[in-house]
């Protein structure tokens, strides 16, 4: 294992120190490295808090700032944060209007955020993201996984919170944005968790994992390595079909936001090539991309591969996506 680290037990704390120092104009670090928060929480605004295991950067800490999250709680690599982290974050960014948790649908995350909500003094509601269409018949008690579509939810809910919407309205918006979003990923290699020191799973030189999870969980199936066009066809078909009766003919159509997300080990050249393939396939099936992102936003350490996220847009979701944002990972309009 070759990694730029000092010791496996200090990877997270040293990384957080560097992250907050590099973005000291935007962020502050919570006591005992429990969370990162906006340097100036906004009074009278619903506080938005998310979090999860580290190793997916810039998710979630990279989305803390104006127009998105107020705080993010980082767990150890691929490990859920603890309830005391969420409680500390909620107290630190409380604006007096309640708190909204945005939680990816993994058993540990769901359980710990629920425990924090039960122990908190103020009013807390939760939006659960579960955009991963790869989980057709789930073996997980919590159902399908929350993956890169979480970024879209955090962005539009963050914009609405800046406008002053109340807690119930923000939860309803988050649930609606999640319902409009589907994702699917493919892995070409595994990743290596520093504490483990060995790859999470084994893939042959000519194999790929279709529908892989962001922690290296098994996908729909393991198949022979295919061309970019064939991979894009698989993902687009799975995503559009999963929208079901949301559109005529059983598939999605109309205007969409698309995220072509890298898992950490794939060059941008290849990600843009995949975006091109996906765009052409979507256009043939009646989906027009009006908003997009390409890059490493929800990663899996150094895994090679990518995911495709499609969100069906309406006027409100488009406007909230376009609203100003100023975070370490997303900045426009300010």
Partner residues linked to 181 by β-bridges: 311
Enclosing H/E stretch for 187 = strand 181-187
pLDDT, one tens digit per residue, over 66-112 is: 999 999 999 999 999 999 999 999 999 999 999 999 999 999 999 99
The answer to whether the beta carbons of residues 208 and 188 sit under 8 Å apart is yes
State residue 141's pLDDT score.
47
Closest CA to 173 of 319, 299, 39: 319
Per annotation, catalytic residue among 23, 60, 66, 215: 215
Tens of pLDDT along 182-191?
999 999 999 9
Residue of 197 and 325 predicted with greater confidence:
325
Q: Could you report the per-residue pLDDT of 112-162, keeping only the tens digit for each?
A: 999 999 999 889 999 999 999 997 654 444 678 999 999 999 999 999 999
Q: Which pLDDT tens digit goes with each residue over 228-280?
A: 999 999 999 999 999 874 444 456 668 999 999 999 999 999 999 999 999 99
248 catalytically annotated:
no
pLDDT score, position 324:
98
Q: Is 215 annotated in the active site?
A: yes
pLDDT of residue 245: 47
Q: How many Cβ atoms are within 10 Å of 180's Cβ, its own excluded?
A: 23
Rounded to the nearest 5°, which phi and psi values hold at 131? -85, -5
pLDDT band at 41; cut points 50, 70, 90: confident
Enumerate residues 6+ apart whose C-beta is below 8 A from 75. 51, 52, 53, 54, 81, 82, 85
CA distance 318 to 251: 20
Going by C-beta distance under 8 Å and a sequence separation of 6 or more, which residues neighbour residue 309?
131, 147, 148, 149, 151, 152, 181, 182, 183, 257, 258, 259, 261
Domains of the chain, CATH where assigned: 10-180 (3.40.50.10440), 181-313 (3.30.1180.20)
CA nearest neighbour of 303 among 169, 230, 199, 226: 199
* Of 23, 56, 60, 66, catalytic: 56
pLDDT at 42: 87
For residue 220, the model assigns a pLDDT of 85
pLDDT digits (tens, 9 = 90+) for 212-222: 999 988 888 89
pTM here is 0.95
């Amino acid at each position: 294992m070759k990694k730029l680290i000092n010791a496996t037990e200090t990877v997270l704390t040293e990384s957080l120190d560097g992250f907050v120092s590099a973005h000291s104009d935007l962020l502050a670090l919570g006591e005992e490295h429990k969370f990162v928060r906006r340097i100036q929480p906004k009074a009278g605004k619903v506080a938005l808090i998310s979090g999860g295991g580290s190793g997916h950067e810039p998710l979630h800490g990279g989305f803390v700032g104006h127009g998105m999250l107020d705080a993010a709680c980082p767990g150890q690599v691929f490990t859920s944060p603890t309830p005391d982290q969420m409680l500390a974050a909620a107290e630190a960014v409380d604006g007096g209007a309640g708190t909204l948790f945005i939680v990816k649908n993994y058993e540990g995350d769901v359980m710990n955020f629920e425990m924090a909500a039960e122990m908190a003094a103020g009013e807390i509601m939760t939006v659960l993201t579960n955009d991963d269409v790869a989980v057709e018949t789930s073996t997980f008690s919590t159902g399908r996984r929350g993956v890169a579509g979480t970024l879209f939810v955090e962005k539009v809910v963050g914009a609405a919170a800046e406008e002053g919407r109340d807690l119930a309205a923000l939860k309803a918006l988050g649930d609606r944005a999640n319902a409009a979003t589907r994702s699917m990923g493919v892995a070409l290699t595994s990743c290596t968790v520093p504490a483990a020191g060995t790859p999470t799973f084994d893939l042959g030189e000519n194999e790929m994992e279709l529908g892989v999870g962001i922690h290296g969980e098994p996908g729909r199936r393991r198949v022979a390595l295919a061309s970019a066009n064939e991979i894009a066809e698989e993902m687009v078909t799975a995503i559009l079909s999963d929208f079901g009766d949301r559109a005529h003919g059983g598939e999605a159509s109309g205007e969409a936001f698309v995220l072509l997300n890298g898992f950490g080990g794939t060059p941008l050249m290849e990600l843009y090539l995949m975006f091109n393939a996906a765009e052409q396939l979507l256009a043939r099936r009646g989906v027009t991309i009006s908003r997009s992102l390409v890059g490493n936003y929800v990663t899996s350490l150094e895994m090679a591969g990518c995911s495709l996220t499609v969100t069906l847009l309406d006027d409100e979701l488009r406007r909230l996506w376009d609203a100003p944002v100023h975070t370490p990972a997303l900045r426009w309009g300010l």
